[in-house]
Structure 1
Amino acid sequence: MRVQAQTQNRNHPVRQDPEPRRGRPRSAAAERAILDAVVGLLEAGEPLAGLSIERIARTAGVGKATIYRRWSGKEELFVDVLRAIEPPEPAVSGSAGLADLRLLLESMRGRGLAQRSSALLHNVYAQMKSHPMLWNEYHCTVIEPRRAAVLAAVRRAVDAGELRADLDVELMDDLFLAPMLVRTVHRPEAPLPEDLADRIIQALTEGLAPRPAPGG
């Protein structure tokens, strides 16, 4: 698995400086080489703890200063590597409720399938949890934004009358996320059928749908 195609994806663009900087400009090619070097080392069986900036720089064919101009240290670099090798974020409308929620849940299902089929992803995620700083950074920059996107979709569904307005929105968010998280994270042997997102939404909306008006 290489990350070059993913880093060119619109969901994972190579970061550019908002304003010109003094000195030598950052190279998009060098950044891709660094990300590819980390993935290549991980694919070869190197553990996260064993990767040094020196080793990464040597493999990428760049100087250590090139890495430090872009990342403050290994943890920040590894987070970008993890973002690059993941499936792209789904393109949601930002205005729909349940329709956007379905896209977000389906994206989680896709990630679960990718992790099961990729020894690299499986091993990296397992190792990452033993590195508190890395896990915390990944949680803040990747996991929390995804949860916020689901929560926003649930709120839009409430505003559109697709979900009850008399229930706690945070609770509803957890109820939609929990079944997919259980299947993709806590039960790696559980099936992930194509209609899983639809089934979760259907099962929950039968209990979360607005109550009919009296006499209706």
Structure 2
Amino acid sequence: MSIGRPRDAARDRAILAATLELLAEAGYPALRIDEVARRAGVAKTTIYRRWPSKGEMVLDAIATHLGDRSIEETGDPLRDLRRLLEVTYEGLAETVAGRALPALAAEIMADPGLAGEYRRRFVHPLRDRARALIDRAVAEGSLRPEVDPDLLMDVVVGPSLYRPIVMGVPAPAASASAVFDLVIHGAGLP
């Protein structure tokens, strides 16, 4: 039996929307709970009852905004890996949440608990899915057997993070296919 009023889903949505708006305007370091509360039209205590930290609230806002980024498999592991990469680049380049995520990652890494949660929610699902596709491509002979799946993922996803964090420019979603072709050609069969 629960005690108290049930959570209001509309308040959750308002808080998460305000979080994303402020994140886009000022970045993670300048994001303040009192400003999120003001913009969402709720009390700060409403936020603190839902999220124990600013970082966890931001991760929820990003996860909610990005939604389900899965792909439907076609049976061709390289085609599916290309699509997974395209969906990843699209999410990072074409959404407020995605554009905030690379810069936010640097801030989050200072908090080991939050860094672990970030990896669990955003990094590991992508890597696990990609690893399975790469393993299938190796088993089917589409990639060389000595291909390191982790290194391959680092190389194809890397530009989507390097460009916004280091260069200060977005990695266009359209560049996903070019990166894929360049890397897979080198990892493919001679």
Structure of higher CA gyration radius? 1
- State the AA in 1 paired with 2:177: D
Secondary structure of the corresponding residue to residue 131 of structure 2: helix
Q: 2:133 aligns with which of 153, 169, 176?
A: 153
Q: Distance in 2 between matches of 1:154 and 1:199?
A: 18
User: Residues 46 and 151 from structure 1, CA distance in 2 versus in 1: closer, same or farther, beyond 3 angstroms?
Assistant: closer
Aligned to 2:182: 203
Say whether the 8 Å CA contact 1:158–1:164 is kept in structure 2.
yes
- State the AA in 2 paired with 1:31: D
Say whether the 8 Å CA contact 2:73–2:80 is kept in structure 1.
yes
Aligned to 1:67: 47
User: Residues 79 and 179 from structure 1, CA distance in 2 versus in 1: closer, same or farther, beyond 3 angstroms?
Assistant: closer
Q: Distance in 2 between matches of 1:158 and 1:148?
A: 15
Q: Structure 1 or 2: larger helix share?
A: 2
Q: 2:78 aligns with which of 84, 98, 108?
A: 98
Aligned to 1:89: 69
Q: 1:109 aligns with which of 67, 81, 89?
A: 89
Unaligned segments of structure 2, at least 5 residues: none
Q: If the length of structure 2 is used for normalisation, what is the TM-score?
A: 0.71
Q: Distance in 1 between matches of 2:28 and 2:164?
A: 23
Q: Distance in 2 between matches of 1:197 and 1:122?
A: 15
Say whether the 8 Å CA contact 1:109–1:184 is kept in structure 2.
no
Shift of 1:79: 0.9
| Off by >6 Å, runs of 4+ in structure 1 | none
- State the AA in 2 paired with 1:129: A
Q: State the percentage of identical aligned residues.
A: 30
Q: Which runs of structure 2 are paired with 1:1-216 in the superposition (5 Å)?
A: 21-42=2-23, 45=26, 48-52=29-33, 54-86=34-66, 89-93=69-73, 96-114=76-94, 125-126=102-103, 129-131=106-108, 132-133=110-111, 136=115, 137-183=117-163, 185-189=165-169, 192=172, 194=174, 196-210=175-189
Q: If the length of structure 1 is used for normalisation, what is the TM-score?
A: 0.64
Q: Distance in 2 between matches of 1:96 and 1:204?
A: 17
Say whether the 8 Å CA contact 1:92–1:103 is kept in structure 2.
no
User: Residues 202 and 26 from structure 1, CA distance in 2 versus in 1: closer, same or farther, beyond 3 angstroms?
Assistant: same
Q: Distance in 2 between matches of 1:149 and 1:201?
A: 16
Unaligned segments of structure 1, at least 5 residues: 1-19, 212-216
User: Residues 95 and 26 from structure 1, CA distance in 2 versus in 1: closer, same or farther, beyond 3 angstroms?
Assistant: farther
